[in-house]
């Protein structure tokens, strides 16, 4: 994961890569078929998931939730 920090005295930002302490992923997928008429079918589907990551950066712990759906 990339993390950006800003040094407020020099106004310089730093981007570093870190290893994650913990990652939790949740997901739900659904599909359904509806018969509207004898000659007409409707298929409906979707996916929703969320990723939650936790890490320690320079002794400062943080958590970030990344909601994604389509």
Task: Assign 70 a pLDDT band (cuts: 50, 70, 90).
Answer: very low
Q: Is 70:47 a contact under the CB 8 Å cutoff?
A: yes
**Sign of the Cα pseudo-torsion (7, 13, 17, 20, in order):** positive
Confidence class for position 63, pLDDT limits 50, 70, 90: low
The residues that bridge with 8 in the sheet, in sequence order, are none
- Contacting residues for 48 by C-beta, under 8 A, at least 6 apart: 27, 28, 69, 70
Residue 66 has pLDDT above 80, yes or no: no
- pTM for this entry: 0.39
CB 66 within 8 A of CB 42: no
Cβ pair 1, 55 in contact under 8 A: yes
């Amino acid at each position: 994961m990339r993390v950006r920090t800003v040094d407020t005295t020099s106004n310089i930002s730093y981007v570093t890569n870190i290893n994650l302490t913990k990652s939790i992923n949740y997901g739900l997928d659904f599909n359904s078929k509806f018969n509207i008429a004898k000659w007409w079918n409707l298929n409906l589907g979707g996916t929703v998931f969320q990723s939650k990551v936790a890490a320690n950066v320079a002794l400062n712990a943080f958590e970030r939730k990344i909601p994604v759906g389509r």
